[in-house]
Amino acid sequence: MAYTTINKGSSYFNTVTYTGTGANQTITVGFQPDWVWTKRINAAYSHEVQDIVRGITKVNYPDNVASEDTVAQNIQSFNSTGYVQGTHVGVNGSGGTYVAWNWLSGNTTGSSNTSGTITSNVTVNTTPGFSILTYTGNGSSGATVGHGLGTTPACYIVKCRNTGGTNWSMYHQSLGNTKAMVFTATAARTSAVYWNNTSPTSSVFSLGNDNDVNVNTQTYVAYCFNEIKGYSKFGSYTGNGSTTNGPFIYTGFKPAFVIIKSSTVSGISRWLMKDNKRNTFNVVANNLVTDTNSVENTDSNDYADFLSNGFRITADSVSANTNNSSENYIYLAFAENPFVTSGGIPVTAR
């Protein structure tokens, strides 16, 4: 059996960097993306998320709890190799520098999924194990929503669209169904009953009646992932507190994008975002965080290396963000290349 079904991660996930022009400009991704997450690097503007299911004028902000906005001057249209970015200063201000993380799903606005007690609208691509869906809450603990993946998701992120003050809530397989993480905060895992203490299945995920995931008549969006060998990994590691030999985390591929967050350190641990385009060689020093609109930083306390089969924490001092001794850290990782291709050829380190 082949090691992987995906030989080139950038066919399904790709990071691009660009300089804003203040006028409509074409952003080349390499495919038509369905989920675009953009952040201005050199100024304090919010992260901005758009997707094909909600529609290109609809924007959410991972660093705050605001409701969805309608912004006419963000993405203007998708095309076969990327999209046309509009003139909004948060995504294309003149002289601004930007990063955009892009995922491929089904290239459709979605279709009805009735697998759960709540009907969802889903676009899905089972090759990279990614679906985007919207649903309307019913306020009932134990409600279920169809995700369309066909296998059990390893991670999903849910956001209420039309009510402010609601968190970006994450299920992560390393924490199980009694815990959730929140993008918009530095807090550790929470035990709020987001998932009704019920694990997802190959067809649905379960909801409690928390405001963040299931209020009657409120609308929600969810981004769902399962693990694909050689392409994506949703795991955890334990910090060792070392400044000379930090943890090595095996993913089975050369990472293109990694998000790291402590699930046990409360109040002082950020959601670090690292990629292979803002740092094309090791050390991977440039950091953004999901929980604030702050500019990019290069804090040496949060250094890492991307390797052919995973990543290593290389911080020069102990950091609550990446390597406190005995603390638990979760991560989301997507590949540049698998460790071994489908033809049995190993890749090299950077």
pLDDT tens digits for 33-52?
999 999 999 999 999 999 99
Quote the pLDDT of residue 188: 76
Separation between Cα atoms, residue 23 and residue 322, nearest integer Å:
39
Quote the pLDDT of residue 3: 79
Regions of the chain with pLDDT less than 50: none
Quote the pLDDT of residue 346: 67
Quote the pLDDT of residue 27: 98
Pair of tokens at residue 249: 């985390």
Separation between Cα atoms, residue 214 and residue 138, nearest integer Å:
6
Quote the pLDDT of residue 299: 87
Quote the pLDDT of residue 166: 92
Separation between Cα atoms, residue 108 and residue 319, nearest integer Å:
42
Which residues, in sequence order, are CB contacts of 222 under 8 Å at separation 6+? 120, 132, 133, 134, 135, 145, 147, 156, 157, 158, 159, 205
Quote the pLDDT of residue 1: 59
Quote the pLDDT of residue 316: 78
Separation between Cα atoms, residue 202 and residue 153, nearest integer Å:
7
